[in-house]
């Protein structure tokens, strides 16, 4: 936006003139008062405000002068030029007394917001958390986080309570509710802790009640699963009979690609590049919120081609009629176990199967396999090395997925021959 700077003795006549001019030309106009140094009237498309620019006296560490600050002191509709000058003189007096008016104003604004927030119940605070902190649930992580907070508040019957009424006992009760479901308990308590940290930062509560829950009481991490499927079991899963078509296509795709269950379930046709035979995931599409490219083998492309029979935005919807997203993994696992007779089937074990069998059946490096699993990298690896993996190693990763596809084709064919 073009800016016009004018030095003048500001009066009401000039204000009215430049307000009309701004509406006609759409440019930003700044009137600098010649009577009171530092006082300005800023006029733009969205607002018209009196501001005062100042610099606190003295020096900060290192011998540098304090930075210049600008503080809004009112608008010309409710404050005349004379009143604005008086307000500016009051600010000058505060500066001479060693105060910083901008910081004081921000503190008052924070206290005002905190006072308003203290009048809100947990449900209203959760809505603020959703819009201000969680981008309205833009990424899967944010949606999961909000869901865990909502479920926790419902389980504790705290939706209508005020945040300051949440006690350490509530958090201990939450941990106890899920003592047999360790992963769920950790997710619930962790999400609540981050929600309460937000309220603490907003000065709605004085302390985070989760901090008072002892380590002994908190749900411990579940022991890591080490299960993976044999080539024969993969063949049995591929040829499982009795699954509904959408489940079968999704299962087969998960066998061909080491994606996370949610990444494949949320996959849209916009992410499928048929010409380059790859899937593209942008920031927010993956668990680690990083851009990622997954090459497709011939057998994976065949599964995706078959999925085109279903209309809709999702590649693997819940059903051919309803374009809803798959989500009930416990039910999915149960259906697959029954159809394939692989009794210990859990969907996530397919990722471990890929990494284990590729390491056993080929000379592919561990780092290359890890890059296809799209694990979160450390600070160093997440910078230089990860960039190298995503660019220079893309063709190598294509080769790995092609090898995996050929192995699968052989195992599936072998299973069919055995069944005959």
| Confidence bin at 322 (pLDDT 50/70/90) | low
| Confidence bin at 420 (pLDDT 50/70/90) | low
Percent of the chain whose predicted confidence (pLDDT) is above 90:
52
Query: How many whole angstroms separate alpha carbon 209 and alpha carbon 164?
Result: 10
| Confidence bin at 1 (pLDDT 50/70/90) | low
The edge-to-edge listing of strands for the beta sheet with 39-43 is 3-8, 28-33, 39-43, 48-55, 68-74
Alpha-helical (H) ranges within 156-230 are 168-177, 182-201
Query: How many whole angstroms separate alpha carbon 117 and alpha carbon 124?
Result: 9
Judged against a pLDDT cut of 60, whether residue 378 lies above it is answered with no
| Confidence bin at 382 (pLDDT 50/70/90) | very low
Task: Quickly count: other Cβ atoms within 10 Å of residue 94's Cβ.
Answer: 13
Q: What's the whole-number mean pLDDT along residues 42-51? A: 90
- What are the pLDDT digits (tens) for 82-117? 999 999 999 888 888 888 888 777 777 777 777 776
CB 22 within 8 A of CB 43: yes
Lowest mean pLDDT among 57-66, 138-147, 153-162, 193-202: 57-66
Contacts of 28 (CB under 8 A, 6+ apart): 1, 2, 3, 4, 22, 42, 43, 44
Contacts of 327 (CB under 8 A, 6+ apart): 265, 318
Task: Quickly count: other Cβ atoms within 10 Å of residue 74's Cβ.
Answer: 15
Q: Which pLDDT value is given to residue 288?
A: 56
Q: Which pLDDT value is given to residue 95?
A: 86
Residues 225-248, buried b or exposed e (16+ Cβ, 10 A)? eeebbebebbbbbbebeebeebbb
- What are the pLDDT digits (tens) for 71-85? 889 999 999 999 999
Judged against a pLDDT cut of 60, whether residue 28 lies above it is answered with yes
Q: Which pLDDT value is given to residue 303?
A: 95
Q: Copy the structure tokens of residue 140.
A: 């899967």
Predicted structure pTM score: 0.60
Supply φ then ψ for residue 7, to 5 degrees.
-95, 125
Q: Classify strands 28-33 and 3-8 as parallel, antiparallel or unpaired.
A: parallel
Q: Which pLDDT value is given to residue 148?
A: 95
Q: Residue for token digits 């159809």? A: 339
CB 213 within 8 A of CB 178: no
Query: How many whole angstroms separate alpha carbon 26 and alpha carbon 106?
Result: 30
Please give the DSSP secondary-structure letter assigned to residue 227.
-
Residues 149-186, buried b or exposed e (16+ Cβ, 10 A)? bbbbbeebebeeebbeebebebbbebbebbeeeeeebb
- What are the pLDDT digits (tens) for 250-281? 999 999 999 999 899 999 999 999 899 999 98
| Confidence bin at 377 (pLDDT 50/70/90) | low
């Amino acid at each position: 936006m073009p800016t016009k700077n004018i030095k003048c003795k500001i009066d009401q006549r000039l204000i009215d003139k430049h307000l009309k001019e701004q509406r006609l030309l759409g440019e930003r106009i700044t009137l600098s008062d010649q009577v009171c140094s530092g006082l300005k009237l800023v006029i733009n498309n969205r607002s018209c405000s009196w501001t005062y620019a100042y610099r606190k006296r003295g020096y900060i560490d290192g011998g540098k002068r304090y930075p210049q600050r600008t503080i809004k002191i009112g608008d010309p509709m409710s404050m005349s030029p004379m009143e604005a000058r008086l307000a500016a003189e009051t600010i000058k007096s505060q500066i001479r007394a060693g105060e910083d008016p901008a910081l004081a104003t921000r503190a008052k604004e924070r206290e005002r917001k905190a006072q308003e927030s203290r009048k809100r119940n947990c449900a209203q605070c959760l809505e603020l958390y959703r819009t201000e902190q969680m981008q309205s649930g833009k990424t899967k992580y944010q949606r999961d986080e909000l869901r865990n907070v909502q479920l926790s508040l419902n389980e504790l019957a705290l939706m209508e309570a005020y945040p300051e009424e949440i006690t350490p006992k509530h958090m201990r009760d939450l941990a106890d509710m899920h003592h047999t479901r360790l992963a769920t308990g950790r997710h619930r308590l962790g999400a609540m802790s981050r929600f309460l940290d937000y309220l603490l930062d907003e000065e709605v509560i004085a302390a985070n009640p989760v901090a008072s829950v002892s380590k002994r009481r908190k749900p411990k991490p579940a022991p890591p699963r080490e299960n993976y499927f044999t080539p024969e079991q993969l063949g049995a899963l591929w040829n499982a009979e009795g699954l509904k078509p959408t489940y079968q296509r999704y299962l087969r795709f998960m066998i061909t690609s080491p994606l996370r269950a949610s990444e494949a379930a949320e996959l849209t046709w916009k992410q499928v590049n048929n010409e380059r035979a790859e899937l593209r995931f942008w920031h927010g599409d993956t668990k680690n919120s990083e851009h990622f490219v997954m090459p497709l083998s011939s057998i994976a492309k065949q599964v995706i081609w078959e999925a085109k029979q279903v209309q809709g935005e999702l590649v693997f919807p819940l059903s051919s009629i309803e374009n809803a997203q798959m989500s009930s993994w416990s039910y999915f696992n149960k259906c697959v176990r029954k159809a394939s007779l692989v009794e210990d089937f859990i969907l996530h074990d397919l990722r471990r199967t890929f990494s284990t069998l590729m390491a056993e059946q080929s000379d592919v490096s561990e780092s290359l396999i890890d890059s296809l699993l799209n694990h979160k990298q450390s600070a160093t690896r997440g910078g230089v090395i990860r960039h190298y993996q995503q660019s220079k190693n893309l063709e190598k990763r294509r080769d790995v997925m092609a090898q995996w596809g050929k192995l699968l084709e052989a195992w599936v064919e072998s299973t069919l021959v055995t069944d005959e």
